[in-house]
Structure 1
Amino acid sequence: MRIRRSEDRGSFKLDWLNAKYTFSFGEYYDANNMGFRDLRVINHDTISASGGFGKHPHQNMEIITFILRGELEHKDSLGNTEVIKPGMIQIMSAGKGILHSEFNPSPFNETELFQIWVTPNELGGKPSYSSFEFSNNIKTNTLNLIASNNSEDGVGLIKQNTEIYYVEMKDFEMSFEENSSYWVQMIEGSATIDNEEISNQDGVSIEFDNIKLSSKNAKALIFKF
């Protein structure tokens, strides 16, 4: 088990953007934090009112957006336009190439999100875009599956054998499977994992270890590899 403390993440600022980088990204380089398994990027972005990323290209990456608060307007070269909100997950499979832009459509309020990159299981594939609304199906103290590579799961579809879960914890305890690897990304609140305290925005990598996670009150994303 290895903990990536939120205060140790890389940072980047513009007049409209405050970004925290769990792994190396852009001009931020940390040889000890290049990713975990198929997980390449977790960027914690806060975007000012009317701010955003202009049109830019991507290739060969599964790009997942998880909104924490506010809204984000997506436009891409496939003709997709959508405003995503909390309780939704957006997945863009860049494949052989796609252009897109992402803006905060509000003239008043900030947008806060995780942008997550997962390496795909195929290169040069057909680009695609989708979104999945999960907010109406959330059960407390349950690993709620929100993305997988199995279309029969009825959740967001990614081109990699990675599962993404959202969990809202209230007096919660779970054990991780010893034959799998996990990344726990805290959203808010605090928890205990293998007798270590973790809290808001901390991340934890777990490899083939049957350790326990418990929390009185927290929210998190859990990636299973």
Structure 2
Amino acid sequence: MIHKHGIEKKVRSQKISSLFPGCGVSSEDTGLGAIGKIDHARIPSGITIKMHPHINDDILSYFRVGVSKHIDSENITAEISRKKLMLMQAGKIFHHEEQILEPLEGLQIFIRPQYKDDRPKVSFFDLDETDSLNQWRLLASPGNQTPLRFTSETWIYDIAIDERTRFTLPKLPEKGLIALLYVFEGELLLNETMELLKEESVVIKDESIKLEAEPGTELVLFFTNEESNCYKNGMYSGNQFRL
């Protein structure tokens, strides 16, 4: 199964485009397994997003351009950037504020937690390199392979292409998973026939995949278990069809 999400599948505002990866794949769930929602944000400097709540969302901040200052109800302050990722696990309730210090472009990725009302937790991942050139890099996982650890069955990778090249997806971390491939930047050719451009994505299951990318292409890859044991009523990661 291969299902392409075009930009028409997004809910757009001036600064944020939102992708609900289950739309078009299912009529019952706007999410895909434990992947609830992906926001592609472009926010100018000088903007402050005032203190606001999250409930039962795991939120990975993946910024490729710019710097944001994070302040939260757990008394944690940190600057998030191209080299520093953050995972906020909101649990029962969690408040945070974002101050945009430099013009920002990146993803806010809303993952469904395994259980409802866990204790809030914030963790960080200082990357050795800003880019993982021409090879997949594991950023977050449900196990101890990464500093950023989900409670539900979700793995997130990225790759940056600096020369025209052919490649494929990394080996599945477990059997029976479904993949969501997102084009953050550039353009991609899938199986020599399907073209994907910036902000487009494709859901892949049980298919042999060949990829060809232009220089400057940046991809984010998600694996999840469609039958994942996760809480589907989080504030933003939850199933929108049931609200």
Alignment-derived partner of residue 157 in structure 1: 149
**TM-score with structure 1 length normalisation?**
0.85
1:179 pairs, out of 162, 176, 181, with: 176
- 1:215 matched to 2:216: no
Distance 1:5 1:135 in 2: 33
**AA partner of residue 159 (structure 2):** V
Q: Which segment drifts farther, 178-187 or 63-72?
A: 178-187
Q: CA deviation at 1:7?
A: 4.9
- The answer to whether the 8 Å contact 1:67/1:86 transfers is yes
Once the two structures are superposed, what CA deviation does each residue of 1:44-85 show, in whole Å capped at 9, x if it has no partner? Answer: 111122113211111111011111211111111000000111
Distance 2:29 2:114 in 1: 21
**AA partner of residue 4 (structure 1):** H
The 1:32/1:188 distance shift into structure 2, 3 A limit, reads farther
CA RMSD, 1 decimal: 2.3
- 1:118 matched to 2:111: yes
Once the two structures are superposed, what CA deviation does each residue of 1:108-134 show, in whole Å capped at 9, x if it has no partner? Answer: x42112111000111111110011022
Distance 2:7 2:97 in 1: 27
Instruction: Indicate the percent of aligned positions where both proteins have the same amino acid.
Output: 22
Alignment-derived partner of residue 203 in structure 1: 201
- 1:103 matched to 2:99: yes
Alignment-derived partner of residue 10 in structure 1: 11
Distance 1:167 1:141 in 2: 6
Instruction: Name the structure with the higher strand share.
Output: 1
Q: CA deviation at 1:40?
A: 0.9
Any idea what SS the aligned residue of 1:110 has? Answer: strand
Ranges in structure 2 where 5+ consecutive residues have no aligned partner: 22-26, 225-243
Q: CA deviation at 1:36?
A: 1.7
**TM-score with structure 2 length normalisation?**
0.79
Alignment-derived partner of residue 224 in structure 1: 223
- The answer to whether the 8 Å contact 1:145/1:155 transfers is no
4+ residue segments displaced more than 6 Å: none
Distance 1:137 1:69 in 2: 10
The 1:160/1:21 distance shift into structure 2, 3 A limit, reads same
Task: Tell which has more relative contact order, 1 or 2 (C-alpha 8 A, sep 6+).
Answer: 2
The 1:136/1:52 distance shift into structure 2, 3 A limit, reads same
The 1:55/1:183 distance shift into structure 2, 3 A limit, reads same
- The answer to whether the 8 Å contact 1:179/1:209 transfers is no
**AA partner of residue 12 (structure 2):** S
2:141 pairs, out of 143, 148, 163, with: 148
Distance 2:140 2:109 in 1: 12
Paired positions, count = 212
- The answer to whether the 8 Å contact 2:89/2:121 transfers is yes
Any idea what SS the aligned residue of 2:199 has? Answer: coil
The 1:83/1:175 distance shift into structure 2, 3 A limit, reads closer
- The answer to whether the 8 Å contact 1:175/1:210 transfers is no
- The answer to whether the 8 Å contact 2:132/2:158 transfers is no
Distance 2:12 2:63 in 1: 19
Once the two structures are superposed, what CA deviation does each residue of 1:176-205 show, in whole Å capped at 9, x if it has no partner? Answer: 758321111111111111320112111111
